[in-house]
Amino acid sequence: MDVRSVRRSFGEKLALAGVDLEVDAGRVCALLGPNGAGKSTLLRILTGLITPGGGAAHVAGVDVAADPFEARRRIGFVPSGDRTFYLRISGIENLVFFGRLYGLSRGEARRRAEARLADVGLEEAAGSRVNTYSHGMQKRLSVARALLLDPPVLLVDEATHDLDPVSARRVRQLVRRAAADGAAVVWATQRLEEIRGFADQVLVLDRGTVRFFGAVEELMLRSHARRYVLRIRSDGPQLPAPDAIQEIGGHGCLVEPVGTSADKIRLTLDADVQLGDVLARMMAAELAILDCTQERSEIEEAFLRLTGDEAA
């Protein structure tokens, strides 16, 4: 997938200000951004639902604007909405119907539908009406539909935003498997925690502008201020006040109380300060560190920094 300088406005509002994106076969690119960042607009342009205001997008070598029908044959799309099927008919009949719209014969559509339903673990519910499916099952059905033709490109729009963790993980596994089979995947999401270990690349969009595009590890390096929550106990007569602990921590270390809890403090470290050094100084001052957790992941830190919401 190759997107070059794609622009789009809705009236006065700029939705995409020249987006570039390249995703190779077998890779998962997370499209990260807050509400209104332009993620869905970009996906809708790639599927031909919206025409771009400028720039070009190629899907598996096909120009989306010049030949939208050919491009759609190469795209599997998992929309964000939860009502994208005919609820009164069964899961398999829905898949066969959409398979035929992709040009498959009835027999071939049925064969592929059965295979995909088995892949997503819905073979037992295949004959049941979709209105009896849980939300997670509908999402898996949506993934099955997107993979019917083994498309070289898979576009997934906020597929897990309202799923429970187990269902969300299952959907991610299905998509990861599609990537392993050679699909280039674009995964739009607001859930920062899900991209670590899942996505290979990240594109951070904010108000239509690309803030970052690169590997997940590179994004994590963008996090500067790091926050940790410590549970501490004094081996001395009493627990020192936060200002005293800050003095112990030294330069580049901000200490604040966490709520009303007496034994918890929040530690915010500057980029050039090592957590280990600070903890060592605290232990030398007879403070026992019972627990130390990162308050925000590096991805979240980087994301907030890139989108200008660091204060949040």
Partner 1 sequence: MSVTAAPANIRREAGKLGAFLRRDLLVQMSYRTGLISDWVNLLAQVAIFAYVSKLVDPSKMPAFGGSRGSYIAFVSIGIAVSGFLQVGIGRLMTAVRSEQLMGTLESLLVTPTRSTTLLLGSVSYDLIYVPIRTVVFLLLVAGLLGVEFDAGGLLPGLAILATFIPVVWGIGAVTAAVVLTFKRGGGAVGIATFALTVTSGTYFPISLFPDWVEALARLNPLAIALDGMRATMLGGAGWMQALETIAMLMPFTITSLMCGAAMFRWAMRREQKLGSLGIY
Contact residues: partner 1, CB under 8 A:
8, 10, 15, 41, 44, 47-51, 68-70, 72-73, 75, 77, 79, 81-89, 93, 96-98, 100-103, 105-106, 129, 145
Distances (CA, A) of 222 to 125, 205, 213, 304, 307: 45, 15, 12, 10, 12
- Which SS3 state, helix, strand or coil, does residue 31 take? strand
Q: Shortest Cβ distance from residue 298 to partner 1 (Å)?
A: 34
Closer to partner 1 by Cβ: residue 149 or 265: 149
Q: How far is the CB of 181 from partner 1 (least distance, A)?
A: 21
Q: What is residue 251's DSSP assignment?
A: T
The whole-angstrom distance between residue 212's C-alpha and the CA centroid of its chain comes to: 14
Quick check: 278 and 289 in contact, CB under 8 A? no
From the CB of 264, what's the least distance to partner 1, in Å? Answer: 46
**Which pair of tokens denotes residue 84?**
């994208």
Q: Which two tokens stand for residue 62?
A: 């096909």
Minimum distance from CB of 44 to partner 1 (Å)? Answer: 7
Whole-number minimum distance, CB 221 to partner 1, in Å?
A: 35
124 secondary structure, DSSP code: T
Alpha carbon distance, N-terminus to C-terminus of the chain: 34
Nearer to partner 1, 60 or 279 (CB): 60
Q: Which of 291, 231, 281 is nearest to 252 (CA)?
A: 281
What are the respective helix, strand and coil percentages of the chain, to the nearest 5? 35, 30, 35
In angstroms, the CA 98 to CA 113 distance is: 10
User: In terms of residues, how long is the chain?
Assistant: 312
Nearer to partner 1, 88 or 233 (CB): 88
CB of 42 to partner 1, least distance (A): 12
- Which residue lies nearer to partner 1 by CB, 102 or 213? 102
- Closest-CA residue to 76 (of 47, 103, 119): 47
User: Closest CB to partner 1 among 63 and 277?
Assistant: 63
- Smaller CB separation from partner 1, 89 or 275: 89
CB 276, min distance to partner 1, A: 51
- Pick the closer one to partner 1 by CB: 93 or 301: 93
